Amino acid sequence: MPTAMAPEPAAKTVLEATRITKVFREGREEVSVLNGVDIALGAGEIVALEGPSGSGKTTFLSILGCILTPTSGRVVVDGEEIDPARSHRLPAIRKRSIGFIFQQYNLFPALTALENVEYALNIKGVSGRAARDQAEEALAAVDLVDRRRFLPRDLSGGQKQRVAIARAIAGKPAVLLADEPTANLDSAVGAQILELFRTLAKSEHRGLLIVTHDPNVRSIADRVVKIRDGRIVADSAPPSLATRVTARRGKSKEKAS
Amino acid sequence: MPNLALKNLLHDKLRSAMTIAGVAFAVTLVFVQVGLFMGILDNASVTIDHLAADLWVTSRNTPNVDFAHGFPETLVQRARSSPGVERADNLLIQFLNLTLPNGAEEGMLVYGLEDFTRWGMPWAIDSGNLEDLRRGAYMFLDASAERRFGKFSVGDYREVMGRRVKIIGRSREALSFTTSPIAFLTYDLVQELSGGRMDGRTTYILVKLAPDADATAVAAELRRRLPHNDVYTKAAWAKRSRNYWVASTGIGLNMYLTVFLGCLVGVVVVTQTLYTSTMEHIKEFGTVKAIGGSNADIYRILGAQAVIAAVIGFIAGRLMAFALAPAMEKIRLKLIISHEFAAIVFVGTLVLCLVAALVSFRKVAKIDPALVFRG
């Protein structure tokens, strides 16, 4: 089995999972979803996590996001080791260190763009003027200040995802976890969102893990991790554009011959 | 801080309107039922409340003011000579028959006093002079008698126990629980009309205390001097009269049952709408958890929604009950809603709405935040 690639020595590791297993009980049966997976994510690093449906991506993401605890294995988020016996600590770790971006955006429909971000900051313990200022700052980072008074229903898909990203980066978490963030967007808007991700991860040194089926995500990823049947089957730098073109030509020639 | 509870309510206008309508309906029902009950009960003690007597001496175990029993009228002297008593007079209350112009007979409740002006009875007079009662076979008849006796005017005559009595005045608001019309005649005339059975007898002694007299001490002295009678303070006697009807007629049970049903309907409606709303917002609540929020954060949202629905629903219900009062008055039904009772209903509404939110609390407590990853 290929092993997880360590982040560059200079980059601080913001998320590390070692030998993670997860077994769900269904009646008397035990279903093993993850079988000893490892991953490490450095500050400013972008990792694409790919895999077919049922491969364990979402379960792995839930464990990395401190939503689920693993059956065994070790998770360290921004320097804090997760203790499965102290699951009540998980919300506090999520508040402090993790920002989520969802496929369906999951914005609060009754709140404006600004209020969506502000409310998340309130949950994180930031309130009043400070919350308002930080929310404005986060919306400015995603270039959406002019839409701050809009309700989600009045925003396009790309704008909703920008609000969701602003909500995720507000409070400056060390780790951003994105679940299929471009799945509901057309390719042009998806490309803009990916560029935004790249900028945010690199300029603000956040570790970004993107669970995706979208091959375009590779264009911004530092590494691509493939998961299948609960195991990591590949962990490598994405092929460069030249490599990909060469590979495609090679395949064409094989077909022609 | 964005008020997610309020914003959600404003966002789901139709559902919010249903929730508030449910609360308002329950509040209106409770106000109208209890208000009518209090109005009817008020009739059971309205004369006690208005008579300027501090203490009432009754025959032993008299159940309420309308069902009076006789005792020797000379006992009033013992009351008059008691320390702390400024004035004591006999009051004779009797059911007497009145013959209507069409020949039918109806019962009425007559109040007999030597001097009504001394005791502030009747308290609301439309026409006539109470001083004139002593000048002959005269009576004041309450306007409410028209429901039973038909129209009458000052100057008309009616037969009471076979004797012509002239109506010389008209009062208002003097009602009895039994709905028997009330008339005011002199003490002597009531005795006379009672056909000898009340000769030398009275039904109550009204006592007015001297300034600075201690009501408890005077009552104790009266009990000592009148060992075969009961002595009540005004409030205790009014309460006893009201309680008699609550216990004996079942209207109390009826009222409690209706109030219970009103509350039940309110709770069911609020529970249902809050729960449906919670289910529709389940992914949002999952998101709150995913971004680090606790169950308590979500309870606060649901609790605030319940409180907002309770407050607006209470105000709407109170206004509806307020608007219904004049319509009730037109059909001669009194709606009495005291500030104390309104405060109790307000607190009750808050509590019941929070109880209704408990079902939603249980639901959100079990939310798996991982649901946010489901498409």
Residues B38 and B76 placed together within one structural domain of the fold: no
**Percent helix, strand and coil across chain A, each rounded to 5?**
40, 25, 35
Q: Do B10 and A119 touch (CB under 8 A)?
A: no
Question: Are B14 and B84 in a shared domain?
Answer: no
The sheet with strand A80-81 has its strands ordered as A29-42, A13-26, A72-77, A80-81
CA distance B364 to A113: 25
Residues B18 and B115 in one domain: no
* Structure tokens belonging to residue A132: 């308002």
For residue B101, pLDDT over 60 is answered with: yes
- Cβ B289 vs Cβ B375: under 8 Å: no
Q: How far off is chain B from A179, nearest CA to CA, in Å?
A: 7
Interface TM-score (ipTM) > 0.90: no
Q: Do A110 and B287 touch (CB under 8 A)?
A: no
Do B114 and B163 lie in a common domain? yes
Return the structure tokens found at A10.
């200079």
Residues B34 and B73 in one domain: no
User: Which pTM was predicted?
Assistant: 0.71
Is the domain of B176 the same as that of B148? yes
A44: pLDDT strictly greater than 60 = yes
Which one of B212, B227, B242 terminates a domain?
A: B227
Residue B111 lies in a domain: yes
pLDDT digits (tens, 9 = 90+) for A72-106: 999 999 999 988 778 788 888 998 999 999 888 88
- A248 CA to chain B: closest CA distance, Å? 33
In the prediction, which pLDDT does B54 show? Answer: 94
Mutate to test the interface with B, among A58, A111, A127, A169 (most CBs of B within 10 A): A111
Q: Please say if the pLDDT value at position B30 is more than 60.
A: yes
Which range of residues forms the domain containing residue B98?
61-227
CB count within 10 Å of CB B336 equals: 15
Displacement of CA B336 from its chain's centroid (Å): 6
> Does one domain contain both B91 and B221?
yes
Is residue B352 situated within a structural domain?
yes
Express each pLDDT in A183-206 by its tens digit.
888 888 888 888 888 988 888 899
H-helix or E-strand spanning residue B108: strand B105-113
pLDDT, one tens digit per residue, over A141-186 is: 888 899 999 999 999 988 999 999 999 999 889 999 999 888 888 8
Which residue did the predictor score with more confidence, B254 or A144? A144
Q: pLDDT band at A1, cuts 50/70/90? A: very low
Domain count, chain B: 2
Say whether A110 and B289 touch across the interface (CB within 8 A): no
Residue B50 lies in a domain: no
For residue B72, is it within any domain?
A: yes
Which one of A33, A100, A151 makes the best mutation probe of the B interface by having the most chain B beta carbons within 10 Å?
A100
- What whole-number distance in Å separates Cα of residue B146 and Cα of residue A1? 102
Assigned domain for B235 exists: no
Measured N-to-C along each axis, helices B295-330 and B282-290 cross at an angle, to the nearest 10 degrees, of 140
Question: Considering chain B, what percentage of its residues have pLDDT values greater than 70?
Answer: 99
B211 and B89 housed in the same domain: yes
> Are A138 and A117 contacting, i.e. CB atoms less than 8 angstroms apart?
yes
Domain annotation for chain A: domains and CATH numbers:
13-110+175-256 (3.40.50.300)
A178 phi, psi to nearest 5 deg: -115, 130
Domain-embedded: residue B105: yes
Q: Grade residue A10 by pLDDT with cuts at 50, 70 and 90.
A: low
Q: A80-81 and A231-236: which strand pairing?
A: unpaired
Q: Are residues B337 and B205 in the same domain?
A: no
CA angle (B97 as vertex; B93, B100 as ends), nearest 5: 135
Determine contact, residues B298/B281, Cβ cutoff 8 Å.
Answer: no
Q: Are residues B71 and B33 in the same domain?
A: no
Q: Is residue B239 part of a domain?
A: no
Same structural domain, B190 and B282: no
**pLDDT tens-place string over residues B257-290:** 887 887 788 788 878 877 887 888 888 888 888 8
Same domain, B77 and B217: yes
> Does the pLDDT value for residue A42 go beyond 90?
yes
Chain B residues within 8 A (CB-CB) of chain A?
Answer: 1-2, 4, 7-8, 10-12, 283-284, 286-294, 297, 369-370, 372-373, 375
Q: Is B97 contained in some domain?
A: yes
